[in-house]
Amino acid sequence: MTATTYDHAAHEGEPTGFKRWLVTTNHKDIGSMYLLFSLAMFLLGGAMALVIRAELFQPGLQIVDPYFFNQMTTMHALVMIFGAVMPAFTGLANWMIPLMVGAPDMALPRMNNWSFWLLPFGFAVLLSTLFMPGGGPAGGWTMYPPLMLQTGTAFPFVIFAIHVLGISSIMGSINVIATILNMRAPGMSLMKMPLFVWTWLITAYLMIAVMPVLAGAVTMLLTDQYFGTTFFSAAGGGDPVLYQHIFWFFGHPEVYILILPAFGIISTIIPTFARKPLFGYSSMVYATASIAFLSFIVWAHHMFTVGMPLAGELFFMYSTMLIAVPTGVKVFNWVSTMWRGAMTFEAPMLFALAFVFLFTIGGFSGLMLAIAPADFQYHDTYFVVAHFHYVLVTGAVFAILAAAYYWMPKWTGHMYSERLAQWHFWMSVIFVNVLFFPQHFLGLAGMPRRIPDYSVQFADWNMVSSIGGFGFGFAQLIFVWLLIKCIRGGQQAEAKAWEGASGLEWDVPSPAPHHTFDTPPVVR
């Protein structure tokens, strides 16, 4: 197999310096930009979280005004979801999907460039609202009217930014689908694709289905504010709850957009380090598709307390409980993959194992939240905050970190420092639990979410949680240091950097040359 045809002559006349990055159509360059952008946003969103945790360190207001606090909770969520986790997955898709399916590049390289460069502009607009009169959006990332309509000058800018980010995501998804369906190497049937490719294919369809729904919802907010419509105002015959239905019809598939590619990553890493094939490949594919389907019919479980009819409450309770079945299948399959393997515990595997353990805890609290009457107590408390941070931080973010460690040798050509990685892992996994586990207690004991100050019985666990927050935050700086070191040098990585790894990406040299698979490989 001719894996690469790296040819210096072909690059003469290509732009260098900044222009290289501005006009690039290379999937590896664009993937790197996505990943670095995502890291920057992760640190920025993390800094916002630390403002929140610093204010909540003890009862009373010490640091920020309540309104600024609300801006921080809102922006933290928007930055982490649209700036950190989604672009990280798109970056991984850009880098790895062509390598995994044996394609020379993404199917639509110019659109690929555009979908990346929309992101910095979208975020420049979004973040600039913090400095506008009246401050940034402060109604929560869910942007429920009528509260959202009380936003100041920032209001149209937020909506414009969301449109831009949505367009970027949709174009990224179109590219992923076009690449996977059209550019697979000869012999790679759909059921031979690596699971990361499968989960991304399904995720991309989810995105195309729901990002326009979000766009519709925020556009209706815009016309309600400026053009005299009353979609969400009962006074004009509209309905504030309608917004919540539309938003969560986007919002629930969105949370699976944030986790399905993570499932693919974990399903790639565990077999590598257990030196044993993935257990139940086809049931993994079917489980992913089932989860994607169910994600469209469970949205109102975010709204058990809005006063739905009994039939509605029952339907959404049952459908939500059903999600536990395919998700359970996935967890059982991962554990079975480990069973009687020969495991080693390098950083990618450690993060993957922590994912299985901690994501499952987040799944358990999700199952508890599905029970509608119990949700009357849990809803809008720190129990919910704990739940979604277990699935999104120790779930999505841990999977992204696992992927970064796993493929870093392929990206940089160097092995990362395993010693620093171990420090990063152990600091992260300890502090993230100090940070989020006590939040279950706080929620059950009665602390609502999105409050800047609280009554004194919640003081102890808030202090513990804040200590965990700062520990987790600073632990991520180890990763930044490790990444810089790894890019600049280190032990040369082999083409196949991990003993148990399999897949086309390990057939090309490390670092992967600028152009790969000019001649498609043959998959048997």
Partner 1 sequence: MTAMTRLAQWVAMAAALIAAPASADFSLLNMTQGVTESSRDIYGLHMTIFTITVVIGVGVFGAMFYSIFRHRKSRGVEPSKFHHSTTMEIVWTVIPLVILVAMAVPATQVLIDLDDTTNSEMTVEVTGYQWFWGYKYKGEDVQFLSRLDTDSDRARRLDSGIQPASVDNYLQNVDQRLVLPVDTRVRFQITGADVIHSWWMPDLGWKKDAIPGYVNEMWTEIEEPGVYRGRCAELCGRDHGFMPVVVEALPKAEFDEWLANRQAGGTGMTADSDETPETDGELAAR
As annotated, the active-site residues are 76, 105, 141, 168-169, 252, 254, 256, 267, 301-302, 327, 330, 449
Give me the sign of the Cα torsion angle 141, 461, 473, 33. negative
Q: Is 456 in the site for partner 1 (CB under 8 A)?
A: yes
Which residue of 289, 297, 321, 480 would you call a contact of partner 1, by CB under 8 A?
A: 321
Please give the Cα distance from 197 to 203 (Å, whole number).
10
Q: Is 30 in the site for partner 1 (CB under 8 A)?
A: no
Q: Is 57 in the site for partner 1 (CB under 8 A)?
A: no
Please give the Cα distance from 450 to 452 (Å, whole number).
7
Q: Is 59 in the site for partner 1 (CB under 8 A)?
A: yes
Q: Is 445 in the site for partner 1 (CB under 8 A)?
A: yes
The stretch among 137-145, 174-182, 215-223, 388-396 that binds partner 1 (CB under 8 A) is 137-145
- Residues numbered 337 to 366 that lie near partner 1 (CB under 8 A) are 338-345, 353, 356-357, 360-361, 364-365
CB of 133 to partner 1, least distance (A): 16
Which residue of 280, 348, 362, 409 would you call a contact of partner 1, by CB under 8 A?
A: 280
Q: Is 124 in the site for partner 1 (CB under 8 A)?
A: no
Q: Is 5 in the site for partner 1 (CB under 8 A)?
A: no
Q: Is 313 in the site for partner 1 (CB under 8 A)?
A: yes
- Residues numbered 228 to 247 that lie near partner 1 (CB under 8 A) are 233-235, 239-241
Taking only Cα atoms into account, the Rg of the chain, rounded to an integer number of angstroms, comes to: 23
Quick one: which H or E segment has residue 404?
helix 398-412
CB of 116 to partner 1, least distance (A): 33
Number of residues in contact with partner 1 under rule CB under 8 A? 98
Answer whether 243's CB lies under 8 Å from 223's CB: no
Q: Is the preceding peptide bond at 521 cis, omega within 30 degrees of 0?
A: no
Which residue of 61, 124, 181, 522 would you call a contact of partner 1, by CB under 8 A?
A: 61
- Residues numbered 406 to 425 that lie near partner 1 (CB under 8 A) are none
Decide: helix, strand or coil at residue 331.
helix
- Residues numbered 242 to 271 that lie near partner 1 (CB under 8 A) are none
Q: Which residue type occupies 14?
A: E
Q: Is 444 in the site for partner 1 (CB under 8 A)?
A: yes
Q: Is 293 in the site for partner 1 (CB under 8 A)?
A: no
- Residues numbered 147 to 186 that lie near partner 1 (CB under 8 A) are 147, 150
The stretch among 11-19, 30-38, 75-83, 325-333 that binds partner 1 (CB under 8 A) is 325-333
- Return the exposure string of 423-440: e unless at least 16 CB atoms fall within 10 Å of the residue's CB, then b: bbbebbbebbbbbbbbbb
Terminal alpha carbon distance of the chain: 12
Alpha-carbon torsion, ordered 447, 451, 456, 461, to 10 deg:
60
Cross-strand bridge partners of residue 492: 414
Please give the Cα distance from 201 to 179 (Å, whole number).
10
User: Which tokens is 468 given?
Assistant: 């965990």
Please give the Cα distance from 208 to 169 (Å, whole number).
8
